[in-house]
Amino acid sequence: GAGVSQSPSNKVTEKGKDVELRCDPISGHTALYWYRQSLGQGLEFLIYFQGNSAPDKSGLPSDRFSAERTGGSVSTLTIQRTQQEDSAVYLCASSLSSGGQYFGPGTRLLVL
Amino acid sequence: AQSVTQPDIHITVSEGASLELRCNYSYGATPYLFWYVQSPGQGLQLLLKYFSGDTLVQGIKGFEAEFKRSQSSFNLRKPSVHWSDAAEYFCAVANYGGSQGNLIFGKGTKLSVKP
């Protein structure tokens, strides 16, 4: 079946611009996660959605980062006023209640 | 707070040799543990997971891992490595102790395979 998909696969933007990253989870998966992977920091948790519950935003690094999940499916991660330190690969994952997160291919973001 | 340590940054093994990648975790209760593999330019693929029960867990691609509570370890093993196993391997523990908590990852171990 179809896995987690993310778009765009690559994004180059200028410092100060806003960007939107999209994630389509596996159909029927109730939980959706965003992570960030960078050379210096490794894999970092950003935000977690579970069903209709309020999201766990404890990993967001600043208020420039936000995310929403519409209709319990697609999610968008928005970074406002991008900075060079935001350059990283942004990974999305989804899971069922039985656990085990399945990751998408990621969006590679480069802020110039 | 939960944490994961992968002591080996880079390991090189010969094709056909056995492999063991080390992982130590820090968590007060029974942890939910995972191993993922990442090939260059790819996302993370789930190799196996441990939630409870049998401490020896079988995964995909011939990998297995053993949970040892006394040593706070969850080492990944493979009896015979193939060249296609060259990749980066990440051990992770679920936060909050639940099966659906966010994952806390180790820094990863890069595996190189010699012909």
Residue A52 confidence (pLDDT)? 81
Average pLDDT along chain A = 93
Q: How confident is the model at residue A41 (pLDDT cuts 50, 70, 90)?
A: confident
pLDDT reported for residue B77 = 98
pLDDT (0 to 100) of residue B97: 57
> Residues of chain A with pLDDT > 90: what percent?
78
Q: Distance of CA B60 to CAs B3, B35, B85, B98, Å?
A: 25, 11, 12, 23
Measure in Å the smallest separation between the Cα of A90 and chain B Cα atoms.
Answer: 10
Contact B43 A103 (CB under 8 A): yes
Read off the pLDDT of each residue in A77-105 and give the average, rounded to a whole number.
92
Q: Which residues make beta-bridge pairs with B90?
A: B36
Residues of A in contact with B100 (CB under 8 A): 31, 50, 95, 97, 99
**In chain A, whose CA is at the least distance from the CA of B109?**
A42
Burial label, B66 (beta-carbon count in 10 A; 0-12, 13-18, 19+): middle
Q: In the prediction, which pLDDT does A83 show? A: 97
DSSP calls for B5-65: E---SEEEEETTS-EEE--EEE-SSPPPEEEEEE-TT--EEEEEEE-SS-SEEE-GGG-EE
Q: Which residues of A touch B108 (CB under 8 A)?
A: 42-43
pLDDT tens digit at each of 115 positions of chain B: 789 999 999 999 999 999 999 999 998 777 889 999 999 888 899 999 998 888 999 999 999 999 999 999 999 999 999 999 999 999 999 876 555 678 999 999 999 999 9
